[in-house]
Each structure stands twice: as C-alpha cells, then as structure tokens.
Structure 1
C-alpha cells in the first residue's frame, strides 16, 4: 500500500501530464491556424502577384519555415516534454501553480515538498517522518489535475476561424484557385505563361489505347472566350486539325495505333501541355486443345481435338482444355446459365498457358474470357457444348398367356439402350384371396454386349404355386449401364393373368369339349361330302376313255377338298389333345376314363393312313399325266372304300367322344356333389358352433359379462350371422349350378345313339334345394339350431346323390363291359367260322375247273360268305362305337377284308379261273385271320379291364406294350404244328391242306409284324403320345413301337419296332422263307431251326420290352413335358426377330453414338 507522501507525488505527476496535454492541444490549434494562415496569404499573393521565379521561391520557403516553426514549437516540444521526465515542470513549480488554483492548498503543498526534500537528505526520527505523512495526507481528497481545464482552449479557435473563412471564400470564387497557385509555388523554377482565356479539358482515360485498334479523342473548352480552330500538334511538329463539334467541343480519331506517342493542343496561339497516348496490349488466345476422356461404360476411345470449341460428348465425359495465350493473366470459363446468370470457372495458370478441367453433365453455351491488368478480350469467344444424356433404356413386351393349361407365359420383345444393358428381370406379384404379395423377381436372359436386341423367355407358372382364383400381375424391367448418374431402369406396362376359379375352369373345359365335338362333326360332314363326290366322279367316268376339262377340274377340287379334310382332321386331333390336357390338369379322372381318353386320341391320330395318302398321290400323278379314265376310275374305286372307312371311323369317333364326355360329366358331377356336400356339412358344424356360443353367452350373468372377454358384442353377432348367410347363399348358388349341369348331362346322354340308363335325380335335387332354402330362411330368423340341421340334411343328401351317381356309373360300366365282351367273343367266333368256310371254299375251287358244275355251288357259297362278312362288319362297327380298345388299324383291316371279299365275288361272277381265284381267296382268308388275331388281343384287354373292375380274375396280359404272350404262343403253336406234321408221315392232299393251313397262320403273323413295323416307323419316342403301338391284332404284340426307330446295334434296345429294326426285319424275312418252304412242301431241318430262331428273337424282344417298362413312367412324364411348344403366332414372331437380330449385329461397333442411333432407328423402321 502506498504511503501518503507517495500518493501526493503521484497526484502531482497526474497534474503535470494533464498540463502538457493541454499545452499540446493549445499548440495544435495555433500550429494549424499558423499553417492555414500562411498558406492562404502565400497563395493569394502568388495568384494576384504573378511573381517571378525568385519571389515565388521566397514565398515557398517562407511558408515552409513558418509551418516547420509552428509544428516544432507548438506540437513537437510539448509532446517531447510529455514523455520525457527530465524536461518536465519541477515539483515545486507545479506545487506553486496548484496552490494558486486551490485556496485551501496555497503554500502548504510547497512546504510539505520542501520538508520531505529536507528529510530525504538527513536522518530523521520516526516522529518527524510521521509528521510529514500526516501533512501529506491532508491533500489526498484533492485531485490536482482538476486545476487544468481543456475548455480554456476554446479562445484559440478564433485564430483558426480566420484562415478557414479566407480559404473558403476563394474556393467558392474559383475551385482551382489554390491548386494553380500551389503548382506554381512548388514549381518555382518553371516559367508559366500568362493564363489563356480558355482551358483545354481532356479526359485522361481517353489517352489509353490498345495496339492495332482505333481511339476516339475528345477535347472540351472552358473559359470566357473560345478559339475558332483547335489543332493537334504531333511529336514531329505536324499539325492536325480537330473536328469541331461545337464552339467548345472538338474530336479526332486515331486509327490503327501501334506505339505510344505524345501531342499537344493549340488554339489561337495558346498551347496546352503535352499529352501522351499510352498503348496497351489486349489478351489474346493463340490456340487450344480439348482432350476428351469418355466414360468407360460408353466404350468410346478417348479423343484429342485441336481448336474445336463446339463439342458433342456423352454425359460424364471429362474434358481437359489446354489454352495457349498471349499477354494474358487470367482465363475464365464462363458458362451461360441464362440471360442474367452465369457460372465462372477459373483456369489454372501454367508455364505455357492455362489448364481447365471440367466434367460435361449438361448442355450449355460457354465463353472463353481472357483478362490482363489492362483489359479483357474485345471479341467474345463463344462455343456450344452439347451433352448427350444417357437415355433410359427401352423395353417392349409381346406376351402370350397359356389360357388353356395355365402352365406358362411366353415373353418376348425388344430391349435397347444407347450404351449397354446390365439387367433384365421379370417382376411379379400374386393376389390371392384379396391379399397382394410383395413384388418378386426372376432374371431373364439377354446379351450384355448388344445395345439393341430381342429377348424371349418362357416363365413356368408351376414354381409360383398359383391356386385357382389367383391373379398374377407382372411386368418386364430393364436396366442400363449409366456410369455417371447410376443405372436407370424402364419397365413395361403391367399385365395380369388370372387363374380361373374351379367353376370357370370347368366352364372352360366344357367350352373346349363343345368346340372339339363341333370340329369332329364338321370333319365328319366334310368326309361324307368327299365320299359323295368320289362316288359321283366314279359314276361320271364309267364308259369314258378320256377326261374332259370339267372332270379334270372336279378332280382338282376333290384333291383340294381332301387337303382341307386332312387339315380339319389335324385340327380335330389338336383340339381333342387340348381337351385331354385340360381335363387331365383341372379335373380328377379315374384310370378307366383316362385310358379311354388316351385310346380316343390314338384313334384320331390314326385316322389318316399311308395307303390312302399313296392313292391320292397316285391320283395326282395320273391327273398331271392326263392318263386314261380307266386308271383314274380304278384309283377312285379304291379311294371310295378308304373314304367310306374314314367316314365310318369319324362317325365312330364322334359317338365315342360323346359317350366319353358323358362319362366324364357324370364323374365330374359326382365329385362336385361330394365336395359340395362336405362344404354344406362343414357349414352346418360352423352354424351349430355359433349357436352354442351364443347360448353360452346368454347364460352368463351380468357380472360375468363385465369380467369376461368371451361375450359376443352385437356387432360381432351380426357379422357372424351375415357371414353364415352369405356362405349358405353361395352354397345354394353352387347347387343350382349343379342342377344345371345335371340337366346338361341328360341332354348329352339323349344325344347318344344308344343313351345310358341314367337314374332320375329330380326328387333328390328338390329335397336338397328345399333344405338349403329352409336353412337360409332359418338363418335370417336367427334360428341357428334348425338351420344347422337343415344344412346337415342337405349335405347328406348331396353325398347320397354323389354315391348314387358313382354306383350308377360303375354298375352301368360293368354291365356294358360284360355285354361288349360277350358280343366281341361271339364276333370272334363268327370270324373264325368265316375263316374256316373261306378255307373250305378255297380248297373246293382248287379241285375243279371252270366247266365243273361245282363251280356254281361254290360260287353261291362265296356269295353267301360275303353276306355273312357284311353281318360281321356291321356287328364289328357297332361294337367299335362302344369299345375303345378297338383301334383304327382293326377297322382298316376290316376294310381290306371287304375289299378282298368284293374282288373275289366279282371274279366269281365273271367266272374266273379257279386257280386265279385261289390267291384272292387266300388274301381274304389272311385278312380274316389277321382280324381275328387283332380282336383276340382286344378281347384279352377287355378281360383284363373287367378284372380290374372286379368282374373276375384277370387273365395274363401285357399292359406295357411288350411282346404279347399270345404272339409267342402263336409262334410256338406254328412250330409245334410243323413238327407234328413232319412226324405224322402224311402225304398228298392231307399234307397239302396241313401245310397250307400252317402257311396261312405264319403269313398272318408276318403281316401283323409288318404292320407293327409300319406303326413304329411313323412314331417318335414312345409311339404316338407315349402309346405302345400294338398292331396286327395284338397292338404291340412284339413290343416294337416304343423306340425311336433307329434300329440300334443291340437287338434288345430298340428304335422303332421290336428288339430293333434289324431284329424285326430279320424275323419277317425268316417268316417269308418259312411260308415259301411250306408252300413248296419243304419240311427240312433247316426250317425247324429257322422257326426256333424266330421264337428266340420274339422272346428276346419280350424281355427287352419288360426291362424298358421300368422307365415307362419317366418317359411318359418327359413326353408330357415335351409336348408343350411355342404357340404358332409366337413361332413366326420369333423367327422374324431372329432375322432382325442377325441384321442388327451388322452395325459397325466403331460408329459414333449419333450415327449408331441413326442406324438403329433405320433398322427399327425396317422391322416395322
């Protein structure tokens, strides 16, 4: 803490600081006043005195001296004293000044200072020291600095006011007054001419020019008088007259200025000062290079373009500009956004120019702006940057929905992009029971190297687990390869594919059935019409040797009509196949109906035989060769029999189709009734459950109702009642539909030529309807208990109806099967009888000649045999309409038999040589025997089928199409007969008859094998639609119809017939040799060995076929999978698209995007 004496000295020191600050303020005012006063006096004297250089020098230095003196005396010295202690006011003098100002201080402060000064020089006592401290403490309340008042300096402002007023007055008079005087005073050594009555006014900015450019120079005059002319005087003294704009304004244009120069102005003898034209250099662009680094995903090679400013580049291209300039300090890249908006990028300065890097993202106009410290480039350097944006990919979709089997979707279309495609997907979602799933995705195949391509994909619907009533919503989406903004995608519109409900599916199957039936009926009518025309043409050609023009045209029309008939038969086959596929997938069929459907399809597939085709080909050749009418007539007669058989087969097909549809309808109705009954009974249980729940709720006390959450609210009850009523209403509607189907079944049955005996279900229908109506009414009346009972009754009656129909179907089928079996067995016996009678007649003719009286008797027997054969034919055709196992080749064999019989009859009428009749009769007998063999096989199949229905123990049979035991047994029987005949020692007539009989049997077996071979050649894989292809009375009796018909190397691994083609051919040749030996009565050991080899080969084939049966199921599934094919409309579409793909592949890959796009557009137009 400071002592009182120390505080006293500090107080005095603060006084002294303020004292000198006051002196400094006072001196500043006086110094400024002296400076301004001297300046005003000197300027006024110089302006009006127009003194010489010497006097102007005196005035100038006098002004400088006064200014320096004033500054030193009044400003610098007080500043020095303020900051320097040794030159400051002494403490005693300061005490006196303070004492004079403060009355209470007076000399007391001085005395204290003197006492303290004395005390500091001698040793004093503490009492003395305390006395000084006491005296010093008396001044503590007084601030000595208050004795100094800054306000007292205001009186010095009057010295400053006088020069300021003086200076201001002359400035008002002439602004350049002091400036002109100051210039002359400073430049006192220079002589100044007398002032002209006018002045030249030149803007100095006009004196700056740019090299090689023009400069406009303007001069204005001011003053009391103006000259009439003004001249420009150059450095070399040349005078140039200025252009006079007005009395006080002149101008001149300097052209193509190359260097700096000076000039002056002259007017009426008054000359201005020298002016200098300064020449500057504008910035210049000498050249530039653009390096284009294209995005990698575009596949374009980088480029270097020189002095090319207008660019067309893909988005994302990195551009590096290198500019070579002259006299340039800055270079700006100015992007023009709009008229009022720009974006400036500064280029980087380098040693040899400027560098600017940018990424092209959008099109824009831009300018190159050059700049130095003097100027920018005079003319705009403008260019256009065109950026080709990566467009979104394009995708189109042509789709085919499998509205028959609902197995697949065919997707096809075009995808394209400007640079490349990275992904193609099939997006879908499923709506089931009003719930829609999230989108899922499947990848589609595409070529990532093609920018414009076709795609094709078959989407299998089975893995999607679509159920009846589900809806599939789908679209195709494609992604490009945009490496700048990220991959973009485009998608097609959404498509919907709805899986029909069960009722809709049944309706679809029903429509397909009606369409197939209509096609069969139409084909039958065309066959009948064709047959009539054949007969008419044959009649017209009788007795005519040559064809006339009209008959030729009729024959040509006939051939065209046959082609149309063949097309209709194919269409019929396809429609029935479509129907079978639908029924197989959407309805449950028992094995017997499925087998009948298969047999019917086989029957349709075999309607067109090769022999008929060969006859029509021959007719075509005869017509082209313009042969005589006899040859054509012969062919027409043969065709009549073929076409008659076709007509009858179509009629049979139609009838069998109708019967089969009735069977399917009965089975389907029975199944629906069973399911509907189950649904009705389930609803009855639900109703009963609801009723019990409500009763339990009513039994609860009010307290229980408050405490339990099991109580049904009124809203919940109403909702439950409404749901029950709606479900019952839906079941009522379903049963009404069932009644309509039952009526339709009756109509279908009535259309059959031999309708089935169907029981009347009207009573049951009415009872069910009544129960259902009662249940609906009881639900409306809240009588759930009664409603449940009515529902239960309706369900039970529906199930009873279903069982009744199933029993009726089973019973009728068993009865019909037994009846057909008996008829066929009787028919077979009649055939055997015909065969023996024909053999007897043939032997009788062999023993006589034309003149023998027995000729007439035998002829009568032959004619009667023809009538018996007609009865057999009628019976067989009637039976064939009921028995599906009787196939087309059986009926063709029947036709052959009739042909041979007709030929024999005609020859008998013409009384031909008996020896000539023998060959024809042998053919008749062979045909009868073949027919018997075929029907025997059918009989065995029927026996097995009846056994499966529980009608008796089945006999051994072959279901798989392997060599039939009956075939082996027949061959064994023939071999045994040969050995027995050889051992019997018979000769002569008995030997001949025995050998003839055995030869006929061997021939029949051989023909059966040949027919089997022909069947096998016409089939791929496992025959037609996987059938085993039995032929020759025992369809597949040699197991020769399963393979591909390639005849492999191993006899047991067949291609088309039997062990293999070679094995079969070998057996047929051996049989022909046996027949020849038997006819020539050569019972040798070689014959016996040959027969054993034939037997061995048959057994080997049988074994091979049994082994192949192990793979039968797998092969059938593969056949089913392979039967799907691209729809016809898509086949043509994709054929064209494949051609377009090849065409588009020819686009040169090096083309620029613009030209590549133009080429693509051109090809697209070609595609359209």
Structure 2
C-alpha cells in the first residue's frame, strides 16, 4: 500500500510542476502581447501627438512600470514557484484542480489525501482506514493527472500576439518613421525634439565637450526643403551670427573656454533646442624637475634642470623626472614613439620616473584623466653625449745621427679620461706582439706625451721590417674600455748603399731644379724686358698687355715653385750626407752658407715687385709700369746670375762632400781590413769565410776607385775645376796587396795573407789621409786667393766711392745750361763702367765663396738702380735729382764696403782657426787622460779571479765546505765592488768623452755585458759563461781603444749630445723640427674651465687648426 501511496504523491508533484510550466508559458505570451501593444500604442501616439518632454517622460516611465508589473506577475512569479522558491500549491489544491478536470474522479482523490492525513492520529481502527485508502487508490491509480494541464489552450493568447506583431511589421515596412521616430522620442524623453519645420539644425560635431582653455568650433548644417540665409547662436544673453562656410553649413568658434555653457540656434522663427557645451578639465603639468646623475668616471657634476625637458647628458646617466600635476590620474613617458613607461605616482598630484639613458631619444609626456586619454602634453629631446673612442695623433722624428732611434710626440684625446697607453710592435716571424706601457695622466682628457724607442735594441737579424703603432684605451665604465690605434708605422733598415743612392738622387735633383730655375729666371728677364718695350707700343691693345703681364706672373709662380722644390731637395741631400759621413766643420759651415743663399733667392722685395705688377695690371699706369719693369729687369738679371752662381757653388760643395765621403769610406774599409788581418792571423775563422770577406773588401775598393774617377769627371765640368790628384797608382798598390792576400789565403798561408792585408789597410789609411790633405790644401789655397780678390775688390770699391764723391762735389753749383755738363756726363759714365767691373769681380768671387751673401746683392742692386736714375736724370737735365741719386750711390757703396770688410774679417778668422785645428791634429793625444788602460787592467784582474774561483769550486770536497762558501761570498762581494767602479768609469767615459760612433757602440755593448755579469755575481752564478762574457768585455775594450778619440772633437760632441737626446725632453727635438704648431695649445685644453658644450666646440676648433696646418 505504501508504494501505491507514493505513486499518487509523485503524480501530484509532477502535475504541480507542469501546472507552473504552463503558467510561465501563458504569462510569457500574454506579457509580450501586452508589452508590444502598449509600446506600439505609445510610439504611434507620440509620433502623431508630438508630446512635450514632460508627457514623454510620463509615458516612458509608465511603460517601464507596466513592463515590470506584467513581467514580474506573469513570468517571474510562476517561474520562481516552478523552481520551488516561495509558496506553491499543495497536494489538496492540486487534487481540487484535477477533480475539476476529471468529473468521474469526484472527491475520491481529495478524500484519499484526507484519510492519509488522519491515519496516524485517528481514534478509529487503523486497519479500516488503510483498507478504505487502498480501495480508493486502486480506483485513482489508472487516471493520468498530467493530462489535466493542456499547453494548446495557450494558443488562443498567441493569436493576439500575432496580430500585434503583424501590425508592427506593416508599420515598419510602410511607415518606418512612425516606429523609429516615435521610439526615439519616447526613449530620449528628456531631449527636446523640434516640431516639424521647413528645415532642421544638425550639429556636425562628434561631441559637445571641450578641453579647458581650448577653443571650440561649433559646426552646424541644415536639412530640409528650405535653406536659411543665416543662423544665429544664443548664449550668455548674447547672440552672434555664425559664419557661413557653404550653402547649408555654418560655424562659430568659442574662444578660450573655461566653464560649461548652454546655447541654442535660430534662424528667423525657427529655433533649435538648447545644447550644452561641457568644459572638461585638461591634464596639466604645473612644475617638474629633472635630476641628472652622471656616471662617476666622467668627472662631471650631477645636475638639476627645472621646467625644461630638453637635456644633454653623458651616456649611462641616470635621469629622474619629478612632476607636480593637476587633473591627471595616469602619467606616462613615451620614448622614441615606441616604449611607453608608466610614471610612478607619489603623493597627491605628484609623479616620478627614473631611467638610465643610453641613447639619444625624443620623449613625450602622455597624460590621462577621467575625460581625456593619452594626451601628449609635453614633447622634449634627450641628447646623449656618447663616450666616443679615444683619438690619438702621432708625430715621429728620426734621430739625425742614430737612424735606429725615433722620437715620438703624441696627442691623445678622450671625453673623460684614459685607462692606458701602450707602444706595440711586431717582429716578423713571431706570432706575438710586444707591448711597452707608457705613463700618462689618466684623468687628463687631452694631453701630450713623448716617447723614445731605439730599434737597435731589437735583434738586428729580425729588425728589417718591424710594424709598430700606439694604442690608447679610454675609461668607459658603461660599455667597457674602448681602444684606438694610431696609424701603422713600419721600420725598415736602410742599407748604406740605398742611403747613398737616395742622397745622390736628391743632390742631382736639387742641381737639376736649380738649373731649371736659372733658365726660368732668364726667360722671365726677357719677358719683363719685352714688356717694357711693349708698354711704349701704342698699337698694342690693353688686352694684349694684360695677357703679357699674366704670363709673367704665371712664369714667376713657376719659378717660385721650382726654387721651393730645389730647396727641399737640397735640404734632403744634406740630411742624407750627415747620415753617411762625419763631415768636417768647414764643410758643414760652407753647406750652411749655401743653404742660406738658396733659401734667400726669392727675397721679399722681388715678391713685392710682382705683387705691384699684378695690381698695376688693372690700372695700366704707364709711368709706374716703366719704372717697375726697369727695376724688375735688373732684379731678374741679378736673380739669374745668383742662380747660376749658386748652382756652381752647389756642384763644388757636392764634389767636396763626395771626396770627403770617399776618404771616410776608405778609412772604414781600412778598419775592417785590419780586423780581417787579425782574424786571419789568429787562424780561428774558417778559410772560406776569410776568402769571402777578402773578396767583399776588394769589391768595395773597386767601387771607391770608380767613385773617385767619376768625381774627377765631375770636377772637369766645373768652371774652375779643383786640383784633384790622380790616385790610380795608390789604388793599384792596394789592389795588389789584396790580391796577394787572396792568393796566400788560397794557399792557406795565414801569416803572409795577414801581412798583406795589414799592408793594404795601412795604404788605404794613407790614401784617405792624402785625399783629405789634398782637399785641405785646395781649400786653403782657394781661400787665400778669395781673400786677395776680395781685398782688390774693396780697394776698387773705395776708389769708385771717392770718384763718385768727387764728381758729386763738382756738380754742386752746375745748372742745366753749364757747358761742362757733357763732361760730367762722360765722367759719370766712366764711374758706372768702373762699378760694372767691381760687380763682375764680385760675381766671379761669389761663385767660389758662399760667404758673398744676398745682403751684398741687395746693395749692388741699389747702386745699379741709382746709377740708372743718374743716367736718366742727366739726359733730362734734372741736376738736383742727379745730386740726390749720387748721394744714394755713395751710401750704398759705403754700406757695400763695410759688408765686404766684414766678410774679409770672417775669412781671416776662418783661416786662422783652420790653421790652429791643423796644428792640433798633428799633436798626439795625451795618454794620461785616457782611462782605457786602467779599465783593461781591472777587467783582466776580474777575469783571473773568476777563473780561480771556478777552479776552486771544481776541486772543492766535503771538508771545510762552510769555510769555502764564506770565502767565496767575500770574493764575490769584492768583485761586485770592482764591477761597480768599472761601471761608473764606463758611464763617465760615455758621457764626458768625445767618442766616435763606433767607439760609443763598443762601450754600449760593454755596458750590457757588464750588467749581465753583475746579475750573475749577485745570484752567485759563477759559470764558464761568466768568464766568456768577461773575455768579450776585454775584446770590446781593445776595439774601443783603437777608435780615434781625438777625431773631429766638436762634431763628435754634437753627435754625442744628439745620441743622448732620448734621455732629455724630446720636446726639444720637436721644437727644433718645427713640429709643434697647435699641438702645445691642445695640451692646455684641460686647464681651461669651460662647460662640456663649449669645451667640445673648442677642441674641435683647435683640432681643425692643427689639421689644416698639417
């Protein structure tokens, strides 16, 4: 029974759920029908009624209320009950509904439920009640309760919905404006809609909002059958006419809006609704600061910038922005239009942001608030000053004596400082580079440095082609240290033959250019002479005259260029000569005098004449042109003669140099042959090696003989050849001795070969001395002759001066009508002829002596020009002018006499000095001043001590071993003391003596050997190797002693000073070479207090100056 009872209850529950489902369905249909009907009714009424805002607002809210009531009552409440939320019908109520539907059921279902309810509490027999319930259930169970609910009954409500829906479709299709306009007015119930008019106003602006402080332009157009002529705007009790932009479009601009305002539009009787223009607060930065934290290594100070965002910072700087703002909720910084960073918000209306800056960038401050998003309110630029690579510029100078020694002057620049500076060189055949550290001031951003390097310290077998450069590194802490290399240099050992060849080429080039210059000067003289004649030619046009002057100026430029090239070649030749030979002091003095003559060829006065000619070319002043051409013709004639004279002097000096060079080469060959003789005598060197060396010496002698023969040929080409002896017999004797030595070497007869070699060496020394004596005699004879000639010239010049003075006195009271005037003219002509003889004599003398300087030529030119004026003044009978011109001649003649007297004194002093030197050369050196014997004795003693110590160490045994060590320590200490004394004596000899280069080289080798021996003694490293080095020291001392300590004392002292220049300030070398320019000014950059911007400009300016000078 119990199961049957549960079935009845389940059926009732199912019925209840279906009941509420039906309620929801019916309610939905009815709700939609009511909503659609009421909505259509409202919008149709509004469309045709055109209600006011108030009426539309009532209708809108009425509709909303109706919709809410209908939906909540008919849909929401049944739906909640379906979900068993709230109170629902119970089983008795469901039974009543079911009983109503099923008539046959009557009250059976209700009674059954009643019986079940009273079962537990009934006073009647329980069994009877249960039996009655079973009977009733059996009769009820077959009945389907759910059929009491029929969904189809809701279709009757759907008919009304369809009718209303159909009506809406018809309206939408035929009268869409009714639906859309009516809906629009009901929904926008608070907005005023104009009554239908001939036209309507349309606001074209997307929105009626404006940023505070901005201008706002209202754009209005009209739409309709009528187009208004004008439109007015009304606001703040004022009205203004809009500007017409087209037939139906109008504009009006509100200026600098700060508060919201209402406005309306009108045209005639047609008025628009009221519009409101809302003013929105704009994002604004009131104040900001930028804190710049620069990297410490730059040495610059941190900085604070206020209210300007364009900044310049060193790379790697940390920059912090602090903003004070108004009406900003979000602040961002946009870099390079790509990366956007949110700015941290601090306290109210304050923001800050920090970033390390590594590259230049545009940046924008982007602000947002409740009304404006991503507004770019500020635009700025950060310029990053990069830490540039350091720069390095190197100048190098080769020592004029020691060609292996180079002086370097460098300029290094960097933004902030340096890490290190190194000199790096690579030896061929080695894979590694060798580095030498150079001390610099790391904090000084621009500085000079000097460095000296001697390539002879590198193994000569490897030092033929060495690549080297300087490398500087900066102190960049952000990107890491950056390095810059200087230009790559190459050191190549120049052989003596190559050096000699270059010297000969430079000398020949200088002579060739000097000869070309002479020809150009003669051509120029002819052109000037032709121009002087053409100026008198009336038929010649101005253009033709100008063209001739232009040709003269071009020719003058060619001459000037050719002379400059000749001077450079001559200087180069002189430098090569100084490298090849140790020239005599007299020869050096003569070389200097000739160089001065060559450098003063184009004097300022001559250049001024050509400048004046160029300026007269445009004016064509015939009088001035005639005077100028007259002067120029004489000057060009003098220049041509001077060039001819200088060419002769240059040839003569070159001959003397080469003879001196040949003599020195013979001496060197003699020394080498001496060494060969010693080797041959000792019989330690292999025979084949001796033969090769002997053949080499023979070839060198053959070259020297041919060289001397060529010199004899060149001598014959001179206008006044030197008296050169024929040394063919001497050369023949030397060659015979060398041949004897060669034959004896072939026969392995070392003693005879050595004797022949020694004889050949002595003969070569004699021949070299003969050549020097020959040149000395020639020079002395020539100087005596020059002095005699000069005395005669001075006497003639004095007579000329007296005669000119006498004539000048004679014509004091003469006028142009005096019959003696013709006689005076003839006397003046004779005096002029006398001066021509003097001039020719001086010209002839100047070809023999370079002491006749350009100052003498100037005075001669002055005399000639004034003599020419006297001649012209006599012809024009300008007697007063004649007198003044004669006075000028007298003055110049006296000046010339003084100059020639001074030269004569110099010649006499030079002759006396040569005689003294000649006498001193004949004297033997004082042995008491020579420390060599004592030094040799000391080193021989040390060698003996070392040998004894090695012997003791070999013989030593276990007994008394401690005693032996103590004795050895004492002996070593004694030897070290002796070596220190020797070292001091050696240094004194190197610094105070006037040694030859060969002798200095030997002493340097001794120093190195002695230093190695000292190290071994300190380390108690007593070995046979130590003794061998000691023997080498003795050998080098013997070789040094053989050097000629007394030869060319003054010259060698200069050589010594130059050699030791690396221990002095190399700046003096560069001053001497005139290589300073703006270099020193650049050094002082660090001492000038300027900010970074102006410092960079100043550096760039000075570097450009230096570059232009280079």
Short-chain TM bin: 0.3 to 0.5
Normalization by structure 1: what TM-score?
0.45
Q: Which has the larger radius of gyration?
A: 1
Taking structure 2 as the reference length, what is the TM-score of the superposition? 0.47
Which structure would you say has the larger RCO, counting Cα contacts within 8 Å and 6 or more residues apart?
2
